[in-house]
Amino acid sequence: MSRSKIHYVLVVILAVALLFAGCAEQKQKVEETPKATETPKAETAPKAEVIHIKIGTGSPGGVYYPLGGAMAELCTKKLADKGIEVTAVSTAASVENCRLVGRGEVQFGMAMGDIAYQAYMGEGKFKEKLPILAAFSMYPAPEHIITTDPNIKTIYDLAGKKVSVGAPGSGNAAMAELILKTAGIWDKIEKYYYSQPQAAQALKDGNVDVVFWNFAYPASAVQEVAAVRDVYFVQIPDKIVNEIVSKYPYYKPGVIPAGTYKNQNVDVKTIQVGNDMIVNKDVPEEVVYNIVKTIFENAEELHDVHPVAKQLTPENAIKTAIPLHPGAEKYFREVGVLK
């Protein structure tokens, strides 16, 4: 083969090699380039964190249990868009609720005004000040002292009787103890620490002579007993009422009006105390504000739960035994009841 032919063949071979190399490179570029019709995957937005709030209530039979449950349901329904979920927890009521709120095991809790004050100040049953504040006052509650014995007429007649003073750790038990000690008969009674349902059953069965209950009227526990037994109200003499009120400003003279319960024909003199919704001081201001605002702007939805819900007004709400949480203050200033 001549030298010119050899040169020609080499040129052809080189051209073919370059052509294949170019095609391979172009194919690789096409494979690496995203298709024009493909849309990049959108990043999933992180879900808003749910804020879980618990309300400590009380035992079935009183006001705390149904009212707290209804408040929790209302707030969860109305505040879903803000990521706030509220649940109610049954407890032994005031004293336990103060401790639970103080420890942060529940964020809100229902408590009698005297117990809330003692917890805030580190007095009485509390060895140290608890980090609690008030969200609002709910309603006043007179002490109900009930018996099925018509011969028991005043607090002094309880000496030697079987008496349910309230569930352990409850504000009711603390108030009963104060009344009985002031009367000088605390050590002269046979004490039983029954919850409201237990006390109602024991009174119906004749296993106790007297029960102490602290709740707003009319109360279902009293109506339950009155439906099957004749019940009588025990009066607290003015001397004892005045002595307690003079020492403890969060207590007030109270009256259960005649006709409140079956066969109750006279006014019953007693002692009453406010009932507060307390809150841990570290719950964020905006959370407390939203919960308080929701409850008071929709209070009518709670009226069918218990008649005391009709007392849920901003004017009554600021009459707390302890200072208000900043979130609560914000709402009550907005509606004009705080300056």
The tens digit of pLDDT for each residue in 164-187 reads 999 998 888 989 999 999 999 999
How far is 138 from 249, CA to CA, in rounded Å? 18
Given this model, what pLDDT does residue 124 score? 87
pLDDT < 50 positions in the chain? 6, 8-21, 23-40, 42, 45
Look up the pTM and report it. 0.68
Q: How far apart are the first and last CA of the chain?
A: 113
Strand 210-214 and strand 268-280: pairing? unpaired
Given this model, what pLDDT does residue 46 score? 54
Residue 242 tokens read as 């005045």
Report whether 71 contacts 78 (CB < 8 A): no
Report whether 220 contacts 174 (CB < 8 A): no
Report whether 112 contacts 318 (CB < 8 A): no
How far is 203 from 191, CA to CA, in rounded Å? 14
Domains present along the chain, CATH in parentheses:
51-334 (3.40.190.10)
The tens digit of pLDDT for each residue in 264-297 reads 999 999 999 999 999 999 999 999 999 999 999 9
How far is 134 from 317, CA to CA, in rounded Å? 10
Strand 84-89 and strand 162-164: pairing? unpaired
The tens digit of pLDDT for each residue in 130-152 reads 999 999 999 988 999 999 999 99
Given this model, what pLDDT does residue 48 score? 63
Strands (E), 90-154: 108-112, 132-147
Mean pLDDT computed over every residue of the chain = 88
Going by the DSSP 8-state scheme, the letter that residue 129 receives in this structure is: -
Residues, the chain: 339
Strand 162-164 and strand 232-233: pairing? unpaired
How far is 254 from 316, CA to CA, in rounded Å? 17
